[in-house]
Amino acid sequence: MGSIEVHISTSQASENAFPKTTHGLKTAVDAQETATIGTLAYYQSSPGVQRYFCKVCSATVFYAWDERPETVDVAVGLLEASDGARTEAFLSWNFGAAAEWVGDTKGGWREGLLRRVREEAE
């Protein structure tokens, strides 16, 4: 399987610098600043949340939430690393730590799924 090409410019030139905030990213995509954001597009999946993808190949690229203006979640599948899918040369994985999002599963179908995953992992 070949690698996925991300169609985003990472030029450090001031007029082409990649946006530093989620608001700046959204503004650049809305203005279709192709020199800055390439083929990046987004849709709003819920209030204040944008999911970014490549218009050419449809690859998921970023998840951004207005409440975290200086942070985007990058789709790990976009990273190419010789050490495999977890790209441990780039990322650190905190196995065994409490997940911050567990509270988000309360009361929905994901709560039961999470409970079953925990039971199977023990």
Which residues neighbour 29 within 8 Å (Cβ) at sequence distance 6 or greater? Answer: 37, 40, 41, 42, 52
- Note the pLDDT of residue 51: 96
Locate the domains of the chain by residue range: 1-83, 92-122
**Average pLDDT in the 56-85 region?**
86
pTM of the model as a whole: 0.62
Residues 4 and 53: beta-carbon distance below 8 Å = no
DSSP 8-state secondary structure symbol assigned to residue 109: H
> What is the C-alpha to C-alpha distance for residues 97 and 73, in angstroms, rounded to an integer?
19
**Average pLDDT in the 93-118 region?**
80
**Average pLDDT in the 67-89 region?**
81
- Note the pLDDT of residue 15: 58
- At position 5, the amino acid (one-letter code) is E
Per-residue model confidence as pLDDT tens digits over 51-66: 999 999 999 999 999 9
What dihedral do alpha carbons 81, 84, 85, 87 form, nearest 10°?
-50
> What is the C-alpha to C-alpha distance for residues 22 and 63, in angstroms, rounded to an integer?
10
